[in-house]
Amino acid sequence: QLQLQESGPGLVKPSETLSLTCTVSGGSISSSSYYWGWIRQPPGKGLEWVGSIYYSGSTYYNPSLKSRATISVDTSKNQFSLNLNSVTAADTAVYYCARVAYSSGWFRSYFDYWGQGTLVTVSS
Amino acid sequence: EIVLTQSPGTLSLSPGEGATLSCRASQSVSSTYLAWYQQKPGQAPRLLIYGASTRATGIPDRFSGSGSGTDFTLTISRLEPEDFAVYYCQQYDISPLTFGGGTKVEIK
């Protein structure tokens, strides 16, 4: 059974960098059949796709983040990570990692397995 | 980007009743590239439907998806107590991937 688990600080100061890691178990992050992604959800609000990564390191981001996001992968540890710099209170959210099933192109993709999510609060 | 508008915002129904949830796109979405998720309080979303009408693994057949172009529908034929939740649609036809604002199905 595939499982994803987010980890990282729950509190980040404004202007600093938010760093989260997703550990995948029960399956290989090096599978050619999937991407891996981050989605966030501000408290009481809807879902926003942050970005996706392939095991080879190819990355794709939501332009709304204005190039503040960086996603990386460590196949030896079966993990992928999110760094979001210059955070503000607007980045306060539950951050989910997920497996991304895709078809004809990386963006032709939906999220079929999700981690439980981790709340990150941006506050001084 | 494609904006997805879900309606109604809240649906108040009783167990055993049917539910019809709407997802309207700001531009045409290929019928293959629309998904639906269910989210319960304090939990991660769960994939229900992909390809507009294909149920994900383990999803009961009381859930069905339909639609094309700009109008898509999620139908729950007979609400079970565990179906009261928030439902989101997601398009994956054009980048960036976008979600609708959600429809809450609550117990009347």
Over residues A77-107, the pLDDT tens digits come to 999 999 999 999 999 999 999 999 988 888 8
- A117 touches A6 (CB < 8 A): yes
Cross-chain residue pair A110–B50, CB shorter than 8 Å: yes
Could you tell me which chain B residue has the CA closest to the CA of A112? B47
Give the model confidence (pLDDT) of B90-101 as tens digits. 999 999 999 999
Instruction: Inform me whether the C-beta atom of residue A121 falls under 8 Å from chain B C-beta atoms.
Output: no
Could you tell me which chain B residue has the CA closest to the CA of A45? B101
Q: What is d(CA B35, CA B47) in angstroms, rounded to the nearest whole number?
A: 8
Q: What is d(CA B8, CA B22) in angstroms, rounded to the nearest whole number?
A: 7
Identify whether B60 is preceded by a cis peptide bond (ω within 30 of 0): no
Kindly give, in sequence order, each residue whose CB lies less than 8 Å from that of residue A82, ignoring residues fewer than 6 positions away: A18, A19, A20, A21, A22, A38, A50, A51, A69, A70, A71, A95, A97
Q: Which of the residues B54, B95, B103 would you substitute to probe the A interface, choosing the one with the greatest number of A C-beta atoms within 10 Å?
A: B95
Q: What is the pLDDT of residue A107?
A: 82
Instruction: Inform me whether the C-beta atom of residue A34 falls under 8 Å from chain B C-beta atoms.
Output: no
Cross-chain residue pair B90–A101, CB shorter than 8 Å: no
Regions in chain A scoring below 50 on pLDDT:
none
Please choose, from the candidates A58, A59, A46, A55, the residue with its C-alpha nearest in 3D space to the C-alpha of residue A24: A55
Mean pLDDT throughout B21-44?
Answer: 94
